[in-house]
Amino acid sequence: IWITNNFENKTPKGLGILSFNNVQLELLPRDEDMEIYIPVKVNTSKFNFNLLAVWNFYWACKQGRFKDLKGDNCLEWTALEHYKPILNDPTLIVGDWNFGPTFSQEAFVKLNNILNEQDIKSLYHEFENIPVTDTKNYTYKSPMKSFHHLDHMFGSSYFLNKMKSFKISSLDEAILSDHASLLLELDD
């Protein structure tokens, strides 16, 4: 599944969800104005879960009713409320939020508070046992050589209880992206 909000570019960027080993992806109903928030049902041989994949443009929506909208009614908060019915256990929310503990920390704390109300936690912060305002890793390197932790994986209690390891790969390993990979290993 691949979605873009940059239709006029000859080589548009977007968000892709890939699966392998007979994992099936089913696109769930989505609000097109919510740009690159992709709700998916993931079906595996062992269990099924809902996934909300995110590439949040924060205040830079390109079209629709959220274009240039900031504040409490902007895209990220409205999308979380809109997709709340699918965020039941087990669920993952994964992607580039374009904010985090090192950039727009206030918005990241707000995000964590909203998700905590649904018993969904930052898997990285839970695994590292650090406050959501801290990080030990960076997931993005800007062209100006500044580093930030912008990519996040949030999980419901199923994932929290099965989490064996959580790793952020080195930015030096990122070849076709300026973002590091997030790797979650679960117990069987």
Please report, in tens digits, the pLDDT of each residue of the chain (188 residues total).
988 877 778 888 888 899 999 999 999 999 988 888 999 999 999 999 999 999 987 666 777 888 888 778 888 999 999 999 999 999 999 999 989 999 899 999 999 999 999 999 999 999 999 999 999 998 998 877 788 999 999 999 999 999 999 999 988 888 878 889 999 999 98
Strands 163-168 and 182-186: antiparallel
Whole-model pTM: value is 0.93
Distance CA 123, CA 101 (A): 14
Tell how many helices (H) and how many strands (E) occur in the chain: 4, 12
- Tokens 């994949």 -> residue: 53
Q: Which two structure tokens, joined as six digits, stand for 11?
A: 């080589």
